[in-house]
Chain A
Amino acid sequence: MSDTIILEVARFNPESDAEPSYESFEVPLRPDWMVLDGLNHIKDQLDGSLAFRWSCRMGICGSCGMMVNGVPTLTCETLLMNYAPGPVRVGPLDHFPVVRDLVVDLDDFLAKLQKVRPWVVRKDDFKPAREFIQSPAQLESFHQFSLCINCTLCYAACPVYGLDPNFIGPAAIALAHRYNLDSRDQGIEDRLDIVSRHEGIWDCTVVGECSTVCPKHVDPSLAIQQYKLTATKEWFKSFLLPRGKH
């Protein structure tokens, strides 16, 4: 097997290009190299102007997400060897505006994330004298959804988000669901107002790719379908007990 591999990398210079194009680079093919190592080799040895994001190199910070051969992928934990003999095509995450080369603008996602209030919301003046007791079962109910690293691979995999940019999207809904399920939280109604709109859970048509590509096995598709159930139950409750507290 060859000891090099061709990386076809998306290039886009906003000052001179109308749209991205691909440039090929030959990089060493080492058994322990991730796709990100190949990109860093290009940046260090071949073309210092290549722009891409990364930070932790261990699947924690969520910043190195890119399209690798058309699939949203965390480049720091995907072996280059998986794509041998190549070539490997690396592009910016789908459905997001491209700022430069492989760097996308995540403002839209961050604004949506903030809207769903992904933190513990209390309605009372909550000043516990001791820590809040949470049973293992209560923790288990939301633990999976709390593993999200905001890498936005699920947005790049979601055709609904691509077609309707107003869609709140998988990760933001999964995180809203995570806090709804948290026994310390009292913000379910506030979140429901936002998430149960058409551009929230009802926009989802269960393509399911968000869960397939999620590197942390968060299963945002499951969160959205469960959220639909919660929203329906809440709607029935408010229909049957219009004045009741629910």
Chain B
Amino acid sequence: MAQYTQFQPKAYRPRMSAYWYLDQWHYLRYALRESSSFFVAYFCVLTLVQLAALGAGAGRYAHFEALMRCPLMIIINAVALAFFLLHSITWFNLVPRVAMRQMLGRPTPDMVSSAPNYMVWFGATVILALFFLGVL
């Protein structure tokens, strides 16, 4: 910063509002993307609880299933799923920012850079769905 003399009045220093992310839609979208990490962590913990219930026997697992069927848990999980999807899609779409910028010496379209992530995601979802439906 410049050194001010008594004849050179100080500049006005703006301060950011604590609610800056509400100013514009793209900042809000960013804040939602960042906060979606919380729901990813929630699903990880939920999966660990589910595995623990599974290991603890049929009675405990039935209790876990009953808990998951209650309306409040269904609402919480639906909201968490929405944030989970937002998290995955926004981060997959950011892949072209860092990786696979070029293929065979030519610039790669953004969708092509993101595609492997979506393919792995889709493949894993199908395998897990078949497993839980008892097909595998």
Interface residues of A (CB under 8 A from B): 12, 14-15, 17-20, 70-71, 94-99, 104-105, 107-108, 137, 159, 162-163, 205-209, 212, 221-222, 225-226, 228-229
9-residue interface stretch from B14-22, B52-60, B78-86: B14-22
B22 → A minimal CB distance (Å): 12
Output the nearest chain B residue to A16 by Cβ-Cβ distance: B9
Once the chains bind, are A107 and B1 in contact (CB under 8 Å)?
yes
Identify whether the interface residues of B are mostly helix, strand, loop, or mixed. loop
A167 → B minimal CB distance (Å): 13
Interface residues of B (CB under 8 A from A): 1-2, 9-14, 16, 20-21, 23-24, 26-27, 30, 34, 94, 97-99, 101, 105
Partner of B30, one of A108, A207, A225: A207
Once the chains bind, are A95 and B14 in contact (CB under 8 Å)?
yes
Measured CA separation A95–B10 after assembly (Å): 16
* Known contacts A105-B2, A162-B16, A205-B34: A14-B27 contact under CB 8 Å: no
Once the chains bind, are A159 and B27 in contact (CB under 8 Å)?
yes
Once the chains bind, are A105 and B16 in contact (CB under 8 Å)?
no
Once the chains bind, are A209 and B97 in contact (CB under 8 Å)?
no
Residues of chain B within 8 A (CB-CB) of A108 are 1
A62 → B minimal CB distance (Å): 20
Once the chains bind, are B98 and A159 in contact (CB under 8 Å)?
no
Residues of chain B within 8 A (CB-CB) of A206 are 94, 97
Once the chains bind, are B24 and A70 in contact (CB under 8 Å)?
yes
Residues of chain A within 8 A (CB-CB) of B30 are 159, 205, 207-209
Once the chains bind, are B98 and A228 in contact (CB under 8 Å)?
yes
B128 → A minimal CB distance (Å): 29
Seed contacts A95-B14, A162-B20; 11 additional CB < 8 Å A-B pairs: A70-B24, A94-B14, A98-B12, A99-B11, A104-B11, A105-B1, A206-B94, A208-B26, A209-B30, A226-B101, A229-B99
